[in-house]
């Protein structure tokens, strides 16, 4: 891990430098990252002003997940659609907030990539000033596949990039393109994401687990055996209730985050394509592990866009402790 202090490297210049390493690159991919970066800056501004602009609280609608939408979910979704929709290299957009994928360009019209996203993960914590985030996953578009949902239902190992933007005390942009994990921070004075850490590595061990223990009575037995063991080993418990926040702590400090199957969500609550897969890709690229139902998250063959999976993600040794209680 290198802490970038002397060089002033923006996300834009970093992506262009990475692109220059691939002679066949056309710049299409860089345009997508640029659009996500723009959306992140706009959403960060909106999140900070949400209370002043009176856009906190419920939208009064239920999304495809059966969850009540908060107004900022819809605002963030619209911002991302407007930023990405104008980029010629995007074929299909798929959002947690929309039942069907949005087809922008298909077949010969171009559009090399599909972008999947959770526009504002953890948004229910916004009205208590919690940290929230945008999670994204980028896949290649298969122009020959006629059905948009089938196009985006690719296993996580096929992601060409993934990341998240965390809207907290500062706005942090974490991304991997398959060559390690890089962390940028928004300098609001110049409106640019600046490289802070190149090659983020997740600590191999940390005696911290992150799970909603209120559901533990309905966890499968192996999770209950693990928790009993961890209590005896003096582990700490940390749980914010926002995947992107709980995972970012795990990435930076180590530990393990899990959302097991529960009575309310027998297949787990988190969505495979735009939550578990991008988080799992980041975890693996930082030297961690991501498992779902005993198999590697990124190897799961998706059947549906909004498919849910259980998730155990974090430090190699900490995920190992969970798995050996199976
Ligand atoms: P629970 C937020 O609604 C979310 O989708 C994830 O960000 C978070 O990890 C999870 O749900 C929290 O769920 O059941 O513990 O409130």
pTM of the model: 0.95
Q: Give the pLDDT of the chain (326 residues) as one tens digit per residue.
A: 666 566 789 999 988 888 887 777 778 888 899 999 999 999 999 999 999 998 887 877 777 777 777 899 999 999 999 999 887 889 899 999 899 999 888 766 778 899 999 999 998 889 899 999 999 999 999 877 777 788 899 999 999 999 999 999 999 999 999 999 999 999 999 999 999 999 999 999 999 999 999 999 999 999 999 999 999 999 999 999 999 999 999 999 999 999 999 999 999 999 999 999 999 999 999 999 999 999 999 999 999 999 999 999 999 999 999 999 98
**Mutational pocket test of ligand 1: of 213, 241, 270, the residue with most ligand atoms within 8 Å of the beta carbon:** 241
Cα–ligand 1 centroid distance for 189 (angstroms): 32
pLDDT at 5: 60
The CATH number of 2-198, from 3.20.20.70, 3.30.540.10, 3.40.50.720, 3.40.50.1100, is 3.30.540.10
Cα–ligand 1 centroid distance for 248 (angstroms): 14
Cα–ligand 1 centroid distance for 81 (angstroms): 23
Residues 6+ positions from 82 with CB-CB distance below 8 Å: none
**Nearest-atom index, ligand 1, CA of 265:** 14
Residue nearest to ligand 1 atom 16, measured at CA: 241
Residue nearest to ligand 1 atom 13, measured at CA: 241
**Nearest-atom index, ligand 1, CA of 259:** 9
pLDDT at 245: 97
Cα–ligand 1 centroid distance for 260 (angstroms): 12
**Mutational pocket test of ligand 1: of 123, 259, 280, 313, the residue with most ligand atoms within 8 Å of the beta carbon:** 259
Residue nearest to ligand 1 atom 12, measured at CA: 241
Beta strands in the chain (DSSP E): 2-3, 58-62, 68-70, 90-95, 102-103, 113-121, 132-140, 161-167, 171-176, 181-187, 192-198, 208-210, 236-237, 256-259, 270-271, 289-292, 295-296, 308-309, 311-314
Measured between alpha carbons, how far is 120 from 141 in angstroms, rounded to an integer?
Answer: 24
**Nearest-atom index, ligand 1, CA of 121:** 7
94-95-99-104 Cα dihedral, nearest 10 degrees: -40
Cα–ligand 1 centroid distance for 242 (angstroms): 5
pLDDT at 6: 65
Find the residues whose C-beta lies inside 6 A of ligand 1.
121-122, 124, 212, 241-243, 259, 269
Cα–ligand 1 centroid distance for 241 (angstroms): 5
Q: Please, what is the Cα angle at 165 between 186 and 98, to 5 degrees?
A: 140
pLDDT at 2: 65
Q: Between the CA of residue 172 and those of 143, 160, 184, 326, what are the distances in Å?
A: 33, 20, 6, 35
Residue nearest to ligand 1 atom 14, measured at CA: 212
Cα–ligand 1 centroid distance for 7 (angstroms): 37
Pinpoint the residues of the chain covered by CATH 3.40.190.80: 208-323
Which CATH topology does 208-323 take? Answer: D-Maltodextrin-Binding Protein; domain 2 (3.40.190)
pLDDT at 86: 81
Q: Which two tokens stand for residue 97?
A: 């907030």
Pinpoint the residues of the chain covered by CATH 3.30.540.10: 2-198
């Amino acid at each position: 891990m290198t802490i970038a202090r002397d060089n002033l490297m923006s996300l834009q210049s970093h992506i262009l430098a990475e692109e220059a390493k691939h002679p066949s690159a056309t710049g299409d991919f860089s345009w997508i990252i640029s659009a996500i970066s723009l959306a992140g800056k706009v959403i960060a501004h909106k999140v900070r002003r949400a209370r002043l602009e009176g856009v906190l609280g419920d939208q009064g609608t239920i999304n495809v997940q059966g969850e009540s939408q908060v107004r900022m979910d819809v605002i963030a979704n619209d911002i991302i659609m407007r930023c990405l929709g104008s980029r010629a290299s995007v074929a299909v957009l798929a959002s947690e907030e929309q039942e069907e994928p949005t087809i922008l360009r298909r077949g010969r019209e171009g559009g090399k990539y599909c972008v999947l996203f959770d526009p504002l993960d953890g948004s229910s914590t916004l009205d208590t000033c919690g940290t929230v985030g945008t999670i994204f996953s980028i896949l290649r578009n298969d122009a020959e596949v006629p059905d948009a949902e089938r196009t985006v239902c690719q296993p996580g190992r096929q992601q060409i990039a993934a990341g998240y933007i965390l809207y907290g005390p500062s706005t942090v942009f974490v991304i991997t393109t398959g060559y390690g994990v890089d962390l940028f921070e928004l300098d609001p004075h110049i409106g640019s994401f600046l490289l802070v850490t190149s090659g983020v590595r997740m600590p191999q061990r940390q005696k911290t687990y992150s799970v909603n223990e209120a559901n533990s009575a309905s966890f499968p037995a192996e999770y209950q055996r693990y928790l009993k063991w961890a209590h005896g080993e003096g582990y700490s418990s940390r749980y914010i209730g926002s995947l992107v926040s709980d995972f970012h702590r795990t990435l930076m400090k180590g530990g393990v985050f899990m959302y097991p199957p529960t009575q309310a969500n027998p297949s787990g609550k988190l969505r495979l394509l735009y939550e578990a897969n991008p988080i799992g890709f980041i975890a693996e690229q930082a030297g961690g592990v991501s498992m779902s139902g005993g198999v590697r998250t990124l190897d799961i063959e998706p059947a549906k866009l909004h498919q849910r999976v259980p998730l155990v993600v974090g430090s190699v040794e900490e995920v190992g402790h969970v798995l050996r209680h199976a």
